[in-house]
Amino acid sequence: MPQSLIIVESPTKVKTIKKYLGPDFDVRASMGHVMDLPKSKLGIDIQNDFEPTYQVIETKKKVIAELKKAAKNAENIYLAPDPDREGEAIAWHIAHEIAAKGKVIRRVLFNDLTENTILEAIRKPLDLDFNKYEAQQTRRILDRLVGYQISPLLWEKVKRGLSAGRVQSVAVRIICDREAEISKFVPEEYWNITASLEGSNPPSFVARLARIDGKRAKVVNESQSAEIVEKLKTAPFVVSKVEKKEMKRSAAPPFTTSKLQQEASRKLSFSAKKTMSVAQKLYEGIELGKEGSVGLITYMRTDSVRIAEEALKEARTYIRQNYDPDYLPAKPRVFKNAGTAQDAHEAIRPSAMAYKPQDVRAHLNNDQFRLYQLIWNRFVASQMNPAVFDQTTIDIAAGACTFRAQGSVMTFPGFTIVYTEGREDNGNGNGDEGEFGRILPALRENEILKLLALKPEQKFTQPPPRFTEATLVRELEENGIGRPSTYATILSTIQDREYVRLEKQRFYPTDLGVLVTDLLVKNFPRELDVAFTASLESMLDRIEEGKVKRLDTLKDFYIPFAAELDKAKTGMRNVKRQETPTDLSCEKCGSPMVIKWGRNGEFLACSNYPACKNTQNFTRDDEGKVMSSEPQKAETDIACEKCGSQMAVKQGRFGTFLGCSGYPECKNIVNVRKDENGAMTPVKEEVSDIACSVCGLPMLVKRGKFGPFLGCSGYPECKNIVKTGKGADGTAQSPAPEMTDTLCDKCGRPMAIKRGRFGRFLGCSGYPECKNIVKIKAGG
């Protein structure tokens, strides 16, 4: 019987840890958090020092029961959830639930899941960290106080289902503020003038106008550009200065969480959520054949660039064995953490240099391999010598103007033979193009150059770029919003709430996001302030360090928040009830149209609602005038086959169709296609030879969002539909269900194998009279 019980957070770690600890250890998983605040109420006793009410999560009651049973039989109990605040909270909650008289519960931290780390942690167990738990509790309570008290306000004033969050709302504000900057941006014209020149030595090269009369060149329009070009046509171009110097570029440190998310976004097109999911698997363990499960990287939630001494030695040994001596520095490279870094864990690195990416590739899927290779290369490069460049700058005098040419030539690649950091494409087009790699001829001072061509080029300043996932994570990190464990969640949440959308890898605020942000900024300016949110994050760090008390932090936050909350209950604009009159009239009843707010933003609605339910989309012209954006519903010569009214051309999600002009009394619609002359003709539905299994009428071949299907011709009275295929002759066929020998336990008819959204299942052949279904077990 195992003498010790070790409880981890994730079941995927169990096999990895068991391999190293042997039969004396019973390794079990909590499957994440086991306790939380109740979902149905606030769960915080504000009057009693903000005391939280935790309860065992319903789906974890069985897990807790099994852990309690295992704890009774164990002499030693070790809690090993992830080594961060959330993991510490899980450890405290497990300890609370399984505590038994005479049992000592200890905490162990695994920065990576290698044999040495695991055995060392077991040899030197720790006490549970109360301060770290207090920091997590404070964050959880703050988030609950904000979310559970502002969200109902949004339900009342805007629409049900909306949410506000202490951090997520600030992230949305950052995106909205950037969009406002872009909207207000006024482009400014400027001109670049480049000269193609040739000296006594090849090759020819280009230089850009840099100064006029000794001042920075600023050419603002075409006439000024033309005047300069005209003067330069007769001016001699003379080399005034040649400057050469050696430049060095050092490698970036190994990854922190935010830097990994940024680089994976740039180089691998991974979302932050995907990056963390793949990294989690690499950390928890990959099956490597006979070796079993091996954790390939260190813990992936960290803001530190610190590297363990043993890892530095391994990296230097690897470089010494695989590269020329010039690539290895005389001493290990040690990186300095930012002032705000918690430094609880090392940087993200390979757990052991023995597992080269190419050697373990066969055991990884493509995403795992690419991310592991990225982490490996960055770590190895971080311990290599700098790249060396010869940079040349040439100034050329031409009358009152000075042109400049720059070029760099790499003389030693250094770390770049392994890894180069990605650059963010900000898409703004401002500034000069990079000159790296440009070859310049050997020139001497006072050498007269031959002018080959002058090229004036019109440019316009560009607005600040919209955020990508990488740049938003960087913005959050630089402003102290969130922590390594929360970046991916923040980005996912603001998209799931439909406050922002990611389009062509850029974040755009939705109308809903702009509206909610505007309401929150006006009514909760302190909570939506970036600097204030950052100060709260710093306060959580200080609680973890034992320098600040949880209660003091909560009181300081809540007293002014409660006052803002009371004020907002009466003062916040009620968008639900707000109607903005327009000059447009309803096309159905003639009443004025008003602007209302809905799930997808503003829309036009008839003021005669609910008697008239007409709605339309709208746009505004350059002067802000409201105009309907609905296409004209032109009536046709085609009569509705159901009521005799004329059919009208309409637009829907899937294109143009004909709808009865008698809508809403008659809801008949017909698909259409254009003939050779561009005229629209109805697409008649093909009548199949298959009878409806429900009512016996013929089935029609129809087309929907997911392709063709059979629909009963008795629709809407009979709504039976069947997926279809094609027979050998091309005609539609209803796929015959595969009958089984199993009989329905409700009506006694044979059960048939059917397919549904979640795979195969057994369904009664007597459907729809008998709707009995049975899941098919895996392997059945």
CB atoms under 10 Å from CB of 766, counted, come to: 17
Token readout for 237 is 């171009």
Nearest to 10 by CA among 255, 276, 398, 291: 276
For 250-353, list the strands marked E by DSSP: 286-287, 293-294
In terms of DSSP bridges, do strands 655-660 and 646-652 run parallel, antiparallel, or are they unpaired?
antiparallel
Nearest to 655 by CA among 626, 625, 680: 680
Quick check: 376 and 419 in contact, CB under 8 A?
no
**φ and ψ of 290, to 5 deg:** -65, -25
Question: Apex CA 109: angle with CA 108 and CA 111, to 5°?
Answer: 155
Q: Which residues pair with 406 in a beta bridge?
A: 393
For residue 347, the SS3 value is: coil
- Non-local (6+) Cβ contacts of 751 within 8 A are 739, 740, 742, 743, 744, 762, 763, 764, 765, 772, 774
- Non-local (6+) Cβ contacts of 182 within 8 A are 463, 464, 466
Q: What share of the chain is helix, strand, coil (3-state, %, to 5)?
A: 30, 30, 40
CA–CA distance, 447 with 138 (Å, rounded to integer): 70
CA–CA distance, 492 with 505 (Å, rounded to integer): 14
User: Which one of 20, 133, 299, 327 is the catalytic residue?
Assistant: 299
In terms of DSSP bridges, do strands 759-764 and 750-756 run parallel, antiparallel, or are they unpaired?
antiparallel
- CB-based burial, 633-662: b 16+ in 10 Å, e otherwise: eeeeebebeeeebebbbbeeeeeebbbbbb
CB atoms under 10 Å from CB of 182, counted, come to: 14
CA–CA distance, 132 with 99 (Å, rounded to integer): 20
Quick check: 2 and 23 in contact, CB under 8 A?
yes
**φ and ψ of 693, to 5 deg:** -75, -10
CA–CA distance, 355 with 211 (Å, rounded to integer): 55
CB atoms under 10 Å from CB of 256, counted, come to: 23
**φ and ψ of 252, to 5 deg:** -75, 160
Taking the CA atoms of 365, 366, 368 and 373 in sequence, report the sign of the dihedral they define.
positive
CA–CA distance, 96 with 33 (Å, rounded to integer): 13
Q: Is 767 a catalytic site residue?
A: no
Nearest to 477 by CA among 249, 765, 171, 219: 171
Quick check: 88 and 95 in contact, CB under 8 A?
no
Give the active site residues: 299
